[in-house]
Amino acid sequence: MVSTGLEELDRLLGNGYPDRSSILVVGPPGIGKEALGYRFAQSGLLQGDFCLYATRLSVPEVLQDVRAYNIQPWLEPTWLAGQGGQEKLDLNDLTGLSFNIKELVGKADDKRVRVITDILSSLLMLNPPETVYRFLSQLFAELKNFDSVFFATVEEGMHKPEVLAAMGQIFDGVLELKLFEESFRIVPLLRIRKMRGVPPELGYYRFTMSHGRMEVTPYAK
């Protein structure tokens, strides 16, 4: 198992994400999907893992968001970014993107590998879904030759339900984040839709993230 970077989420998942797995986090904008990725990257960097952060944004934009979540200490991953990274990310070139990811991961030597990315919604907007499914399936097959975990986020509400359902079939684990209105309050909820090695969870958990911690409690409507 590979730590998520959050003790509470590790306990919920049975010590973290499965090794040699692909993890998808689905949720609306602003709910904290990226924060889960930042914590996952930070945890790996502190343990000496090789961490590749692939983002459609520039490196300064991501770092600004990291600071907003007060993630300390933040060590620099290897960047595949729109601007400012070791390699430039081009969303219009899936073949080049796959090559760059595999080339950078190949430099990990014997370290565990963590790949964190926010590009899936953009890829689905720019390419036919079937092309993205094929790209991911081939990439995951290559990455599982390494001691690796691939962590990705996708925006809820931007894609057809059948697209998100197909994405859920491709990934080994799916976490669903959603906002629920309750008594004139907005409550953030988390559900484990599926996770390799974890029994199915039908219920939701209320969660909050602050000061480097995540509080998780069962939610009863």
Instruction: Tell me, yes or no, whether 1 lies in a domain.
Output: no
d(CA 57, CA 69): 17
Instruction: Tell me, yes or no, whether 183 lies in a domain.
Output: yes
Residue 92: which domain range? 7-218
Read off the CATH number of the domain in which 171 is found. 3.40.50.300
Q: What is the pTM of this model?
A: 0.93
Burial class (CB in 10 A: 0-12, 13-18, 19+), 71: middle
Instruction: Tell me, yes or no, whether 164 lies in a domain.
Output: yes
Predicted pLDDT of residue 185: 80
Number of domains in the chain: 1
Instruction: Tell me, yes or no, whether 22 lies in a domain.
Output: yes
Predicted pLDDT of residue 211: 64
Instruction: Tell me, yes or no, whether 2 lies in a domain.
Output: no
Predicted pLDDT of residue 212: 64
Strand order in the sheet with 50-58: 87-88, 78-83, 50-58, 113-117, 148-155, 21-27, 173-182, 185-195, 205-210, 213-218
| pLDDT confidence bin for 205, thresholds 50/70/90 | confident
Per-residue pLDDT of 53-79, as tens digits, reads 999 999 999 999 998 888 888 889 999
Could you tell me which residue, 81 or 205, shows the higher pLDDT?
81
Instruction: Tell me, yes or no, whether 162 lies in a domain.
Output: yes
What average pLDDT does the segment 103-118 reach? 93
The proportion of the chain whose per-residue pLDDT surpasses 90, expressed as a percent, equals 62
Instruction: Tell me, yes or no, whether 98 lies in a domain.
Output: yes
Instruction: Tell me, yes or no, whether 27 lies in a domain.
Output: yes
